[in-house]
Protein backbone atom coordinates (compact mmCIF):
# COMPACT_ATOMS: atom_id res chain seq x y z
CA UNK A 1 0.00 0.00 0.00
CA UNK A 2 2.78 2.36 0.97
CA UNK A 3 4.56 1.50 -2.25
CA UNK A 4 1.43 2.25 -4.20
CA UNK A 5 1.03 5.60 -2.55
CA UNK A 6 4.62 6.50 -3.12
CA UNK A 7 4.24 5.52 -6.75
CA UNK A 8 1.12 7.58 -7.03
CA UNK A 9 2.87 10.55 -5.53
CA UNK A 10 5.74 10.15 -7.94
CA UNK A 11 3.42 10.09 -10.93
CA UNK A 12 1.63 13.15 -9.68
CA UNK A 13 3.96 15.69 -11.20
CA UNK A 14 2.95 18.54 -13.50
CA UNK A 15 4.70 16.89 -16.46
CA UNK A 16 3.12 13.46 -16.14
CA UNK A 17 -0.34 12.72 -17.59
CA UNK A 18 -3.02 12.83 -14.93
CA UNK A 19 -4.90 9.78 -16.33
CA UNK A 20 -3.78 6.89 -14.16
CA UNK A 21 -3.77 8.96 -10.99
CA UNK A 22 -7.30 10.00 -11.45
CA UNK A 23 -8.27 6.44 -12.22
CA UNK A 24 -6.54 5.16 -9.15
CA UNK A 25 -8.08 7.85 -7.04
CA UNK A 26 -11.49 6.87 -8.27
CA UNK A 27 -10.71 3.22 -7.63
CA UNK A 28 -9.88 4.07 -4.08
CA UNK A 29 -13.07 6.05 -3.72
CA UNK A 30 -15.20 3.36 -5.30
CA UNK A 31 -16.29 1.67 -2.05
CA UNK A 32 -17.41 5.07 -0.75
CA UNK A 33 -19.45 5.81 -3.84
CA UNK A 34 -22.75 4.16 -2.83
CA UNK A 35 -22.78 6.16 0.40
CA UNK A 36 -21.92 9.32 -1.50
CA UNK A 37 -24.65 8.77 -4.07
CA UNK A 38 -27.13 8.04 -1.32
CA UNK A 39 -26.15 11.26 0.46
CA UNK A 40 -26.54 13.28 -2.72
CA UNK A 41 -29.91 11.71 -3.50
CA UNK A 42 -31.42 12.28 -0.07
CA UNK A 43 -29.91 15.68 0.72
CA UNK A 44 -28.80 17.56 -2.36
CA UNK A 45 -31.56 16.73 -4.82
CA UNK A 46 -34.32 17.84 -2.42
CA UNK A 47 -32.31 20.98 -1.80
CA UNK A 48 -32.10 21.69 -5.54
CA UNK A 49 -35.87 21.21 -5.76
CA UNK A 50 -36.29 23.61 -2.84
CA UNK A 51 -34.15 26.14 -4.67
CA UNK A 52 -36.29 25.70 -7.78
CA UNK A 53 -39.54 26.07 -5.82
CA UNK A 54 -38.22 29.19 -4.10
CA UNK A 55 -38.33 31.01 -7.43
CA UNK A 56 -41.88 29.87 -8.18
CA UNK A 57 -45.16 31.42 -7.25
CA UNK A 58 -46.88 28.23 -6.20
CA UNK A 59 -49.68 28.05 -3.67
CA UNK A 60 -51.52 24.78 -3.17
CA UNK A 61 -54.71 26.58 -2.18
CA UNK A 62 -55.27 28.14 -5.54
CA UNK A 63 -55.94 26.35 -8.74
CA UNK A 64 -53.59 28.70 -10.56
CA UNK A 65 -50.54 27.09 -12.11
CA UNK A 66 -47.11 27.59 -10.60
CA UNK A 67 -45.00 30.14 -12.46
CA UNK A 68 -41.59 31.74 -12.22
CA UNK A 69 -41.51 34.89 -10.10
CA UNK A 70 -37.83 35.68 -9.82
CA UNK A 71 -36.70 36.90 -6.43
CA UNK A 72 -40.09 38.04 -5.18
CA UNK A 73 -40.32 35.21 -2.63
CA UNK A 74 -36.95 36.25 -1.26
CA UNK A 75 -37.80 39.91 -1.10
CA UNK A 76 -40.98 39.11 0.78
CA UNK A 77 -38.95 37.04 3.25
CA UNK A 78 -36.80 40.04 4.07
CA UNK A 79 -39.58 42.60 4.12
CA UNK A 80 -41.85 40.44 6.23
CA UNK A 81 -42.10 41.68 9.83
CA UNK A 82 -43.22 38.23 10.98
CA UNK A 83 -40.04 36.67 9.65
CA UNK A 84 -37.89 39.19 11.47
CA UNK A 85 -39.80 38.69 14.70
CA UNK A 86 -39.49 34.90 14.41
CA UNK A 87 -35.76 35.32 13.86
CA UNK A 88 -35.53 37.40 17.03
CA UNK A 89 -37.62 34.90 18.97
CA UNK A 90 -35.29 32.13 17.79
CA UNK A 91 -32.24 34.04 18.94
CA UNK A 92 -33.78 34.96 22.29
CA UNK A 93 -35.04 31.43 22.90
CA UNK A 94 -31.75 29.81 21.95
CA UNK A 95 -29.43 32.22 23.76
CA UNK A 96 -31.37 32.22 27.04
CA UNK A 97 -31.90 28.47 27.09
CA UNK A 98 -28.29 27.68 26.20
CA UNK A 99 -26.70 30.07 28.68
CA UNK A 100 -28.87 29.08 31.63
CA UNK A 101 -28.63 25.36 30.95
CA UNK A 102 -24.86 25.65 30.66
CA UNK A 103 -24.56 27.40 34.03
CA UNK A 104 -26.75 24.74 35.61
CA UNK A 105 -24.82 22.02 33.79
CA UNK A 106 -21.46 23.18 35.18
CA UNK A 107 -22.89 23.26 38.71
CA UNK A 108 -24.51 19.85 38.37
CA UNK A 109 -21.45 18.30 36.76
CA UNK A 110 -19.25 19.55 39.61
CA UNK A 111 -21.69 17.96 42.08
CA UNK A 112 -21.85 14.71 40.15
CA UNK A 113 -18.08 14.56 39.96
CA UNK A 114 -17.87 14.23 43.76
CA UNK A 115 -17.81 10.78 45.23
CA UNK A 116 -21.11 10.72 47.10
CA UNK A 117 -23.55 8.02 48.06
CA UNK A 118 -26.08 7.28 45.31
CA UNK A 119 -24.12 9.09 42.61
CA UNK A 120 -25.15 6.55 39.98
CA UNK A 121 -28.84 6.99 40.75
CA UNK A 122 -28.51 10.77 40.79
CA UNK A 123 -26.78 10.73 37.39
CA UNK A 124 -29.47 8.54 35.86
CA UNK A 125 -32.24 10.73 37.26
CA UNK A 126 -30.54 13.86 35.99
CA UNK A 127 -30.23 12.51 32.49
CA UNK A 128 -33.84 11.32 32.26
CA UNK A 129 -35.38 14.57 30.92
CA UNK A 130 -33.20 14.24 27.86
CA UNK A 131 -34.50 10.75 27.18
CA UNK A 132 -38.21 11.62 27.21
CA UNK A 133 -39.72 12.23 23.77
CA UNK A 134 -39.87 16.00 23.19
CA UNK A 135 -43.56 16.02 22.22
CA UNK A 136 -44.52 13.93 25.24
CA UNK A 137 -42.56 16.10 27.63
CA UNK A 138 -43.95 19.29 26.10
CA UNK A 139 -47.51 18.03 26.50
CA UNK A 140 -46.81 16.96 30.08
CA UNK A 141 -45.45 20.40 30.84
CA UNK A 142 -48.46 22.04 29.25
CA UNK A 143 -51.09 19.96 31.01
CA UNK A 144 -49.74 18.64 34.29
CA UNK A 145 -47.17 21.27 35.19
CA UNK A 146 -48.20 24.67 33.83
CA UNK A 147 -51.98 24.40 33.62
CA UNK A 148 -53.48 27.33 35.54
CA UNK A 149 -56.17 25.18 37.13
CA UNK A 150 -54.60 21.76 37.74
CA UNK A 151 -50.92 22.54 37.25
CA UNK A 152 -48.35 21.28 39.74
CA UNK A 153 -46.27 24.45 39.41
CA UNK A 154 -49.09 26.65 40.70
CA UNK A 155 -49.83 24.14 43.44
CA UNK A 156 -46.21 24.16 44.56
CA UNK A 157 -46.04 27.94 44.47
CA UNK A 158 -49.39 28.57 46.18
CA UNK A 159 -47.90 28.61 49.73
CA UNK A 160 -45.72 31.48 48.53
CA UNK A 161 -48.65 33.60 47.49
CA UNK A 162 -48.64 32.77 43.77
CA UNK A 163 -52.18 32.14 42.64
CA UNK A 164 -53.43 30.73 39.38
CA UNK A 165 -50.81 32.09 37.09
CA UNK A 166 -51.67 31.19 33.50
CA UNK A 167 -48.08 30.50 32.61
CA UNK A 168 -48.60 29.84 28.92
CA UNK A 169 -50.69 33.00 28.50
CA UNK A 170 -48.75 35.43 30.63
CA UNK A 171 -45.20 34.10 30.23
CA UNK A 172 -45.37 32.00 27.05
CA UNK A 173 -41.79 32.45 25.92
CA UNK A 174 -40.46 32.06 29.45
CA UNK A 175 -42.42 28.83 29.87
CA UNK A 176 -41.02 27.36 26.68
CA UNK A 177 -37.51 28.39 27.65
CA UNK A 178 -37.94 26.69 31.03
CA UNK A 179 -38.94 23.45 29.31
CA UNK A 180 -35.97 23.77 26.96
CA UNK A 181 -33.63 24.29 29.90
CA UNK A 182 -35.15 21.29 31.66
CA UNK A 183 -34.54 19.17 28.57
CA UNK A 184 -31.09 20.38 27.55
CA UNK A 185 -29.34 20.75 30.91
CA UNK A 186 -28.72 16.97 31.10
CA UNK A 187 -27.09 17.01 27.67
CA UNK A 188 -24.77 19.84 28.68
CA UNK A 189 -24.09 18.18 32.02
CA UNK A 190 -22.91 15.05 30.23
CA UNK A 191 -20.45 17.03 28.12
CA UNK A 192 -19.11 19.03 31.06
CA UNK A 193 -18.87 15.89 33.19
CA UNK A 194 -16.80 14.21 30.49
CA UNK A 195 -14.48 17.23 30.61
CA UNK A 196 -14.24 17.10 34.39
CA UNK A 197 -13.38 13.44 34.36
CA UNK A 198 -10.61 13.89 31.84
CA UNK A 199 -9.09 16.54 34.10
CA UNK A 200 -5.60 15.43 35.19
CA UNK A 201 -5.68 14.94 38.96
CA UNK A 202 -1.99 15.72 39.42
CA UNK A 203 -2.54 19.30 38.31
CA UNK A 204 -5.34 19.74 40.83
CA UNK A 205 -3.19 18.18 43.52
CA UNK A 206 -0.27 20.43 42.67
CA UNK A 207 -2.54 23.48 42.93
CA UNK A 208 -3.74 22.30 46.35
CA UNK A 209 -0.19 21.81 47.52
CA UNK A 210 0.55 25.36 46.39
CA UNK A 211 -2.20 26.50 48.72
CA UNK A 212 -5.17 27.04 46.40
CA UNK A 213 -8.61 26.76 48.04
CA UNK A 214 -11.53 25.01 46.31
CA UNK A 215 -12.57 28.29 44.65
CA UNK A 216 -9.05 28.97 43.49
CA UNK A 217 -8.74 25.48 42.04
CA UNK A 218 -11.98 25.98 40.13
CA UNK A 219 -11.05 29.42 38.82
CA UNK A 220 -7.48 28.77 37.85
CA UNK A 221 -7.34 25.06 37.06
CA UNK A 222 -10.70 23.40 36.51
CA UNK A 223 -12.40 26.10 34.50
CA UNK A 224 -9.59 26.76 32.02
CA UNK A 225 -9.34 23.03 31.39
CA UNK A 226 -13.14 22.84 31.07
CA UNK A 227 -13.48 25.72 28.67
CA UNK A 228 -13.36 23.81 25.39
CA UNK A 229 -16.02 21.43 26.68
CA UNK A 230 -18.23 24.32 27.71
CA UNK A 231 -17.77 25.86 24.28
CA UNK A 232 -18.60 22.59 22.61
CA UNK A 233 -21.71 22.20 24.76
CA UNK A 234 -22.83 25.73 24.00
CA UNK A 235 -22.41 25.30 20.26
CA UNK A 236 -24.02 21.88 19.99
CA UNK A 237 -26.81 23.06 22.26
CA UNK A 238 -27.36 26.14 20.09
CA UNK A 239 -27.58 24.04 16.94
CA UNK A 240 -30.21 21.79 18.49
CA UNK A 241 -32.21 24.47 20.28
CA UNK A 242 -32.37 26.73 17.24
CA UNK A 243 -34.35 23.90 15.62
CA UNK A 244 -36.91 23.70 18.45
CA UNK A 245 -40.30 22.80 17.04
CA UNK A 246 -42.00 20.24 19.28
CA UNK A 247 -42.33 22.48 22.32
CA UNK A 248 -43.64 25.43 20.34
CA UNK A 249 -46.08 23.31 18.35
CA UNK A 250 -47.55 21.41 21.25
CA UNK A 251 -47.45 24.02 24.00
CA UNK A 252 -48.39 27.35 22.41
CA UNK A 253 -48.75 26.88 18.64
CA UNK A 254 -46.55 29.92 18.27
CA UNK A 255 -48.92 32.14 20.25
CA UNK A 256 -50.42 34.05 21.88
CA UNK A 257 -49.94 36.60 19.16
CA UNK A 258 -46.60 35.72 17.60
CA UNK A 259 -44.70 35.76 20.86
CA UNK A 260 -43.40 32.20 20.63
CA UNK A 261 -43.24 31.78 16.85
CA UNK A 262 -39.65 30.84 16.17
CA UNK A 263 -38.12 30.18 12.76
CA UNK A 264 -38.96 26.47 12.43
CA UNK A 265 -42.56 27.08 13.49
CA UNK A 266 -42.91 30.03 11.14
CA UNK A 267 -41.61 27.88 8.31
CA UNK A 268 -44.12 25.19 9.20
CA UNK A 269 -46.94 27.74 9.18
CA UNK A 270 -45.94 29.01 5.75
CA UNK A 271 -45.66 25.53 4.27
CA UNK A 272 -48.50 23.64 5.93
CA UNK A 273 -51.01 26.26 6.97
CA UNK A 274 -50.62 28.78 4.19
CA UNK A 275 -49.58 26.10 1.64
CA UNK A 276 -47.29 28.73 0.22
CA UNK A 277 -44.76 26.35 -1.34
CA UNK A 278 -42.67 29.05 -3.03
CA UNK A 279 -42.52 31.34 0.00
CA UNK A 280 -41.74 28.50 2.39
CA UNK A 281 -38.98 27.24 0.08
CA UNK A 282 -37.38 30.71 -0.01
CA UNK A 283 -37.63 30.88 3.78
CA UNK A 284 -36.00 27.48 3.99
CA UNK A 285 -33.13 28.51 1.74
CA UNK A 286 -32.46 31.68 3.74
CA UNK A 287 -32.61 29.72 6.99
CA UNK A 288 -30.21 27.09 5.64
CA UNK A 289 -27.72 29.81 4.75
CA UNK A 290 -28.00 31.34 8.21
CA UNK A 291 -27.64 27.93 9.82
CA UNK A 292 -24.58 27.21 7.71
CA UNK A 293 -22.91 30.37 8.98
CA UNK A 294 -23.59 29.39 12.58
CA UNK A 295 -22.65 25.76 11.94
CA UNK A 296 -19.30 26.64 10.40
CA UNK A 297 -18.38 28.39 13.64
CA UNK A 298 -19.54 25.35 15.55
CA UNK A 299 -17.46 22.98 13.45
CA UNK A 300 -14.38 25.12 13.88
CA UNK A 301 -14.93 25.01 17.61
CA UNK A 302 -15.24 21.22 17.62
CA UNK A 303 -12.02 21.02 15.67
CA UNK A 304 -10.33 23.13 18.34
CA UNK A 305 -11.48 20.69 21.01
CA UNK A 306 -9.89 17.84 19.12
CA UNK A 307 -6.68 19.79 18.74
CA UNK A 308 -6.79 20.34 22.47
CA UNK A 309 -7.17 16.60 23.06
CA UNK A 310 -4.25 15.84 20.78
CA UNK A 311 -2.10 18.44 22.48
CA UNK A 312 -2.56 16.70 25.80
Residues within the interface to another protein (CB under 8 A): 52-53, 56, 58, 60-63, 65-67, 142, 147-149, 163-164, 166-170, 172, 251-259, 261, 269, 272-276
69: CB partners within 8 A, 6+ apart = 55, 56, 57, 278
56, 67 Cβ separation under 8 angstroms: yes
Q: Nearer to another protein by C-beta: 43 or 149?
A: 149
Q: Nearer to another protein by C-beta: 68 or 297?
A: 68
Q: Nearer to another protein by C-beta: 70 or 256?
A: 256
270, 59 Cβ separation under 8 angstroms: no
Q: How far is the CB of 66 from another protein (least distance, A)?
A: 5
Strands 56-57 and 67-68, sheet pairing? antiparallel
Q: Nearer to another protein by C-beta: 38 or 272?
A: 272
Q: How far is the CB of 239 from another protein (least distance, A)?
A: 27
Compute the distance between CA of residue 222 and CA of residue 270 in angstroms, rounded to an integer: 47
| Exposed/middle/buried for residue 260 (C-beta within 10 Å: 0-12, 13-18, 19+) | buried
Q: How far is the CB of 265 from another protein (least distance, A)?
A: 11
Compute the distance between CA of residue 99 and CA of residue 165 in angstroms, rounded to an integer: 26
| Exposed/middle/buried for residue 34 (C-beta within 10 Å: 0-12, 13-18, 19+) | exposed
Q: How far is the CB of 73 from another protein (least distance, A)?
A: 15
Q: How far is the CB of 256 from another protein (least distance, A)?
A: 4
Q: Nearer to another protein by C-beta: 49 or 306?
A: 49
180: CB partners within 8 A, 6+ apart = 93, 97, 101, 241, 244, 247
Q: Nearer to another protein by C-beta: 63 or 114?
A: 63
Q: How far is the CB of 272 from another protein (least distance, A)?
A: 4
What b/e string do you get for 116-150 counting C-beta neighbours within 10 Å, with b at 16 or more?
A: eeeeeeebeebeebbeeebeebbeebbeebbbeee
Q: Nearer to another protein by C-beta: 56 or 244?
A: 56
Q: How far is the CB of 72 from another protein (least distance, A)?
A: 14
265, 248 Cβ separation under 8 angstroms: yes
Amino acid sequence: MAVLERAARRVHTPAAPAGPTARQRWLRRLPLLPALIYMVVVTQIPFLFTLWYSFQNWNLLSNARAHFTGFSNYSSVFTNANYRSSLLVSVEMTATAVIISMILAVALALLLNQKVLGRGVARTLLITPFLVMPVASALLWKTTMLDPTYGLVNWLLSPFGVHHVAWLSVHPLGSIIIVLIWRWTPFMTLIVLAGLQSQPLDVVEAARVDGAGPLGVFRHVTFPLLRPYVELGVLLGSIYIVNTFDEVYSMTSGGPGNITTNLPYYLYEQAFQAYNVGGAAALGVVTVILTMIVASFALRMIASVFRFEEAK
